[in-house]
Amino acid sequence: MITDDLQVMPASTASLTALFGKLGVSDKSEIEAKTVEVGTQEVLQLLKFSLLSKTALTNMVLNSEGSWLKDISKFEDNQTAKLDKKTMSQNTNSMNLKLIVSKSKKKVLYAEAGVKLVDFLFSFLVFPLGAVVKHLGGNSRLGCIDNLYKGAAELSLENYIKSEECKNMLLSPKLFPHSGFDSHILNVEEEYPKYRYDDDWGHIELVRNTNKSEGSSIVYEEEASDLAINILDPKSPTGETIKGEGYLKGPATFMIMDNLIVTPFSPTTIITQLNQMEVSTSDVGERTVTVGKDEALNLLKASLISTTVLNDVFNIREPYPKVMLKV
């Protein structure tokens, strides 16, 4: 049974009665069944509304485009998961970010950052959705996605999920091979597929990872008679097979806007932006902040639900300290 906000649960009289009670439905004669055809367009709409709305099925079936806008969440960093001690001990790659602020408005205008921090922001684009929800402790506030994640977590292996491996695919998905990098502050795991050259058929084929995952029902093949092949990391400047670093060339400095538009640093662009924001150079200051694990999680969460990310994460709504004018 799938509810309007995409909670997935086994169908039963008890769960149906509980749902009616939650929705305030007392007169069962008001309920009618409706069969709808779900094609490509409907699937795309459902995907869209699952990310933006708390009433995804209603929005898809009734095509109510306007009603989902009210569901867009407001960022609250106190509801973002904190990394546990084990994860914190595994990665200490903190970064510095220079915030350019309006002293009178107590507002972040934009930020200046190097390759490392921009690589981190761009890495959001390769995160599997399940990994995002996992790192945010099931509280991404992305439409109905948290409910989908919870539903998958609560379905039992005995009756519904094929195997532990399948459940891990949903709840702890890994990055696509070679899409991550070692210094990533959130330590998102990456798949490590193995390939081999088949002497009999003369072609390359994918081999399941020889390290059997915990709880997996897969029986792995022997590779003794085949030639193992290592795939080069496209991010490695020297063509290595080990995990490379980020996606950008360096060194370089970038300008990051409040809505996370990233552009190469340019004095001309800065002047244009300040004029558009109606901020005088005498009102501009700078403030350097450290981006640790908690800040990284907040940046990830805010990037999903907000268009004022830098202010949501770093504007502590206190008077800024005295800073040197840099413009």
Contact status, residue 45 vs residue 271, Cβ threshold 8 Å: no
Q: What's the pLDDT score for residue 174?
A: 87
- Mean pLDDT (whole number) for 281-302: 93
Q: What's the pLDDT score for residue 86?
A: 44
Strand segments (E) across 165-304? 194-198, 203-207, 227-229, 253-257, 262-264, 284-291
Q: Which amino acid is at 23?
A: L
* Per-residue pLDDT tens digits for 67-91: 444 445 566 655 544 444 444 444 4
Q: What's the pLDDT score for residue 320?
A: 40
Residue 184: count of CB within 10 angstroms of its CB: 19
Mean per-residue pLDDT of the chain: 78
pTM: 0.75
Q: What's the pLDDT score for residue 245?
A: 73
Check pLDDT > 90 for residue 122.
yes
Q: What's the pLDDT score for residue 83?
A: 46
Among the ranges given (21-35, 110-124, 238-252), the one the predictor scored with the smallest mean pLDDT: 238-252
Q: What's the pLDDT score for residue 217?
A: 43
Q: What's the pLDDT score for residue 322?
A: 41
Of residues 317 and 258, more confidence is placed in: 258
* Per-residue pLDDT tens digits for 228-281: 566 667 766 665 555 557 888 879 999 999 999 999 999 999 999 999 999 999
Check pLDDT > 50 for residue 13.
yes
* Domain parsing of the chain, residue ranges: 77-124+247-314, 194-229
Tell which residue, 190, 201, 325, has the closest CA to residue 270.
325
**H/E/C letters for each residue in 88-114?**
HHHCCCCEEEEEEEECCCCEEEEEEEE
Q: What's the pLDDT score for residue 241?
A: 54
- Mean pLDDT (whole number) for 186-194: 76
- In terms of C-beta density within 10 A (0-12 exposed, 13-18 middle, 19 or more buried), how is residue 236 classed? middle
Q: What strands lie across the sheet with 284-291, from one edge to the other?
A: 262-264, 253-257, 107-114, 95-102, 284-291
Check pLDDT > 50 for residue 326.
no
